Structure 1
Amino acid sequence: MTHVSAPAPLRAVIIGAGIAGLACAVRLRAAGYAVTLLERHDAVGGKIRTIPSPAGPIDAGPTVLTMRHVFDDLFAQLGASLDDHVTLIKQDTLERHFWPDGSQLDLYADHERSIGAVRAFAGAKAAAQFTQFCARTRSLFSAFDAPMMQTADPRITTLVAKVLAQPALIPAMAPLSTLRGLLRHSFDDPRLRQLFGRYATYVGGSPTHAPALLSLIWQAEAQGVWVVEGGMHKLTQALAALLDQHGVDTRTGAHVDRIEVQQGRASAVHLSGGARLPCDVLVHAGDPRALATGALGPSTAHVAPQTTRAKRSFSARVLSFAATPHGPDLAHHNVFFAADAEAEFRDLMAGRIPATPSFYICALDRGQTGTPPPLERFEIITNAPATAADTTPDSGPEDLSPWLHQITQQMTQAGITFSPTPTTDAVTPPHVFAQMFPASLGALYGQTPHGLTAALNRPRARTQIPNLYLAGGGTHPGAGVPMATLSARHAAEAILNDQTSISTSARTAMRGGMSTA
């Protein structure tokens, strides 16, 4: 009896071990691929990164988890449970907001409690407007989740058909309005306009230019916010450990020099040290602009050409430090608003650091189990324009002291101080992000979300090269940890569908050849 050995598994190489690359590796390994995951930095995680401190690793990227179901599904692909690998703590207080006039507003996971908080904050009319706004954004989120976010290749015809089937969506979308315009009609209180306008910055945009449809982003938080015990980096560490258990070859410090294309197909990845890694399937899980600019070789420079034409999203200045806080009680998620929101976004749109920015303070050790330690970990984020170059500005090292002085002064006015006072050594500015993430120009969310059809102009999972696929926050369905994780699902499903089509074609050709014979 002749022994027939099982065919070798198909080889998948994934470039980039951020959340999208890790999620791609999970799905392709679950499908039986032999997976090699390449990461140019010394640790996995991408923008979910940390810096060391006397209080332990401090997150210097995303800080909370939304759309939990996306991650439950991801871990289930390898027969695992999310709760067995990380501890998630659902937040009763979604976020705490502060204004220069001393007013303060908490929003809650309990919708009715939020209505009551808005009523106490700004009156009965504001509470009614908030209720109406929530209903509006809830309907938009529900309507566009399946045909847009959950779909690998959304089509304008499908979206138009969806809207025509539900005519009430048209006024809810306010298609001819910006987010700023919609909020002016939604709220009389300018503080509430400012609060909900900031959701445009979640995808790197300005409410003065982002479409009104982006109001639905609020629902991602309204449906639940979770803190990962220990920090967001615990999530990517858990995924890396799970991949290791299932035999994925994860290589850190692996710099990709170029992608090799033979006979129109991506055939191998060349590392800067000289190694050549052949592949049957290749996933680029970094900023797609790296392909379009030829940063990974001329063979893929025709991929995602729109990324070289479209304007870039905003970036950020991120301050991560350990200190003892003094002043108002902080939640995990805190926003301190500038007095003049219009001026802040005028500066950003003009490519300037805002003179008086709003800023976000994540108190990493709040919202978790137990009492915060005496020395707590903090992350402060302000919006900033993306840099115009991939390296340090030609003028030399950036002087961050005026910005830090401004932020410190604004915090002091709000009654909050830290001991010790943070220094500029703990700041990550846009040009450093540009160095960390090739060809991104420091933009943290890919291309700009401005314009009604901006979301449809992002690169999709499939490319012009049949076995080269894209994933990550720079691709569809967009930026943010849940969206980047969904992009990995879209890429993996495209790969599996395409391989099934190839196998079917091969079987058909074989049957045809046998009948001819």
Structure 2
Amino acid sequence: MSRVVVVGAGFGGLSVAARLAARGHRVEVFEQGPQVGGKLGWFSRDGFSFDTGPSLLTLPAVQRDLFLKTGAPVEEVLDLVPLDPVAHYRFGDGTELDLPGGGLPAVAAALDEALGAGTGAQWTAFQRRAAQIWDVAREPFLESALDGSRTLVRLARDTSALRTVAPWASLRGLGRTYLQDPRLRTLLDRYATYSGSDPARAPAALATVPFVEQAFGAWYVRGGLHRLARAVADRAVDNGARIHTDAPVAAVLQSGTRAGGVRLADGTEVAADVVVSAVDAARLYRDLLPRPRLQPQRRLRSSSGFVLLLALDGRTPGLRHHTVLFPPDYDAEFADLAAGRPVADPTVYVSAPDDPALRPGDDCEAWFVLVNAPVHDPGRGTDWQDAGLVARYTRTVLDTMARRGLDVRHRLRWSEVRTPADLERLTGSDGGAIYGTASNGARSAFLRPANRSPVPGLFLVGGSAHPGGGLPLVGLSARIVADLVGEA
């Protein structure tokens, strides 16, 4: 068995560590921060607690596979709660929609009731196409390591599959084929933001995102999703892995032409047969493996997020687990993001689980509030370290919520702000880009950094590498890399 070093204890790093340790490899994980989890973060103050990253779990089969392959089933470790409704949507025209979690027929019925007869049929027709894309793309693009241009060539030979995936079409373009109601198109556009992308440029294959959420359900981990990261870390340790926190890695070492271990910031060198990088791919190639010929071409970074953690007095009648408040002009939001400036009239996303573990009593609430934001880029875009900007934009977000019917300014006990600059500092993500590379363009899947690096023995896992960001895809990347290590 191999000596394996994993750089970074985010969800991808922990997942691949657990899988490799369960297969008998000697695994050591080095994490720069004081705790594990990466973007599956957690913040507590005065009895209020917040997940600072993902707030729902989709495609739970990926996590079930991880836990089954490494020990006891996930249901014996975590309390997974199905969400129903998954989210409450408020559109720019004032229309409101509760999107259920009971499967595609329930979604269609809810759309007909909220948006008018026939909208359910439009969405169902779109989801049928999305299901076909899922069937064609799942194995070669999501569950396997890409084999360079040969993967695209194989797809191109299957003309039926090519027509189904429609790599020449954008997500928005595919939506317009099926969705006549503009509110349905707004709803679809939001799913591009799950990968930090622009729906007018994101590939039609991202239709699989709403399909997966609505066909297989959305789930919450009671006590907060950060418990998922801790459970995977425990599983890795139970299988023999060693996890070191407050242990930043300064460089990936090479032995001849192969990866040979890592050098820590304190100068300690740790030898290894295999190195798995779970840090942002841009940081790996720029800082940890400083050989210009190995650095991939710079790609468009995904968007980031501006976050408010709100400790509120009182309770909100009828509050759902997720609430999404759309602006009247959704296109303007993507124009602002493309220009690298804070969104003037943003979509506001609120996660407020009704979970006693997150609040000090029944007379208060803990809200995680997110708006899409450009990355931290002081030289060419937005400087999120500007205290004046942060204060102004905090007021913008709270005022926007008030205009759209969720005025909590008079209930605010305290708030904490997390900017893209904070995300970059805490997780090492390039500019705070949540998903690494944006999924924009027909060839975006082939432009994402591969799981197998140009250096033999060095592999990439996590949201900035193939197949992409979000808990399901990061979990799949860990499975792919574990298999690749076994072949190396």
TM bucket (normalised to shorter chain) is over 0.9
Q: CA deviation at 1:169?
A: 5.7
Q: How does 1:456-467 map to 2 (within 5 A)?
A: 456-467=446-457
Distance 1:146 1:304 in 2: 28
Q: CA deviation at 1:367?
A: 11
Is structure 2 residue 118 aligned with structure 1 residue 118? Answer: no
Q: Pick one of 340, 348, 368 that aligns with 2:337.
A: 348
- What letter corresponds to residue 338 of structure 1 in structure 2? P
* TM-score between the two structures when normalised by the length of structure 1: 0.88
- What letter corresponds to residue 213 of structure 2 in structure 1? E
Distance 2:109 2:269 in 1: 61
Is structure 2 residue 96 aligned with structure 1 residue 104? Answer: yes
- The count of corresponding residues between Structure 1 and Structure 2 is 484
- What letter corresponds to residue 57 of structure 1 in structure 2? S
Q: CA deviation at 1:92?
A: 2.4
Aligned to 2:412: 421
Distance 1:77 1:496 in 2: 15
Q: How does 1:490-505 map to 2 (within 5 A)?
A: 490-498=480-488
Distance 2:162 2:271 in 1: 48
Distance 1:396 1:128 in 2: 48
Is structure 2 residue 259 aligned with structure 1 residue 266? Answer: yes
Distance 1:280 1:154 in 2: 23
Aligned to 2:471: 481
Please say if residues 332 and 367 of structure 1, whose CA atoms lie closer than 8 Å, have aligned partners that are also in contact: no
> Closer, same or farther in 2 for the Cα pair 1:394/1:167, shift >3 Å?
closer
Q: How does 1:47-196 map to 2 (within 5 A)?
A: 47-110=39-102, 111-154=104-147, 156-159=149-152, 161-162=154-155, 165=158, 167=160, 170=163, 172-196=164-188
Aligned to 1:215: 207
Distance 1:462 1:74 in 2: 21
Could you tell which deviates more after superposition, 356-365 or 406-415?
406-415
- What letter corresponds to residue 87 of structure 2 in structure 1? E
Q: CA deviation at 1:297?
A: 4.7
Please say if residues 429 and 436 of structure 2, whose CA atoms lie closer than 8 Å, have aligned partners that are also in contact: no
Please say if residues 333 and 345 of structure 2, whose CA atoms lie closer than 8 Å, have aligned partners that are also in contact: yes
Q: Give deviations 1:407-434, integer Å, cap 9, x for gaps.
A: 22222223323364265x5111111112
Aligned to 1:445: 435
Distance 1:304 1:322 in 2: 43
Identity of aligned residues (%): 34
Q: Give deviations 1:189-218, integer Å, cap 9, x for gaps.
A: 211111111110000111122122212211
Please say if residues 313 and 413 of structure 2, whose CA atoms lie closer than 8 Å, have aligned partners that are also in contact: no
> Closer, same or farther in 2 for the Cα pair 1:208/1:264, shift >3 Å?
same
Higher CA-based Rg:
1
Q: CA deviation at 1:465?
A: 1.3
Could you tell which deviates more after superposition, 413-422 or 462-471?
413-422
Please say if residues 55 and 322 of structure 1, whose CA atoms lie closer than 8 Å, have aligned partners that are also in contact: no
Q: CA deviation at 1:356?
A: 0.5
Aligned to 2:250: 257
Q: Give deviations 1:338-365, integer Å, cap 9, x for gaps.
A: 1111111111111111110001101122
Aligned to 2:5: 13
- What letter corresponds to residue 399 of structure 1 in structure 2? L
Please list every run of 5 or more consecutive structure 1 residues that lacks an aligned counterpart in the other structure. Answer: 1-8, 499-517
Q: Pick one of 203, 227, 234 that aligns with 1:234.
A: 227
Q: CA deviation at 1:368?
A: 10
Q: Secondary structure at the match of 2:118?
A: helix
Q: Secondary structure at the match of 1:48?
A: coil
Please say if residues 313 and 449 of structure 1, whose CA atoms lie closer than 8 Å, have aligned partners that are also in contact: yes
Q: Give deviations 1:373-426, integer Å, cap 9, x for gaps.
A: 322221111101112259994974352222222222222223323364265x51
> Closer, same or farther in 2 for the Cα pair 1:484/1:303, shift >3 Å?
farther
Aligned to 2:22: 30
Is structure 2 residue 347 aligned with structure 1 residue 358? Answer: yes
Q: Secondary structure at the match of 1:57?
A: strand
Please say if residues 315 and 365 of structure 2, whose CA atoms lie closer than 8 Å, have aligned partners that are also in contact: no
Q: Pick one of 327, 338, 344 that aligns with 1:338.
A: 327
Distance 2:143 2:356 in 1: 30
- What letter corresponds to residue 456 of structure 1 in structure 2? F
Q: Give deviations 1:133-168, integer Å, cap 9, x for gaps.
A: 111111111221111101112555545545654627
- What letter corresponds to residue 199 of structure 1 in structure 2? Y
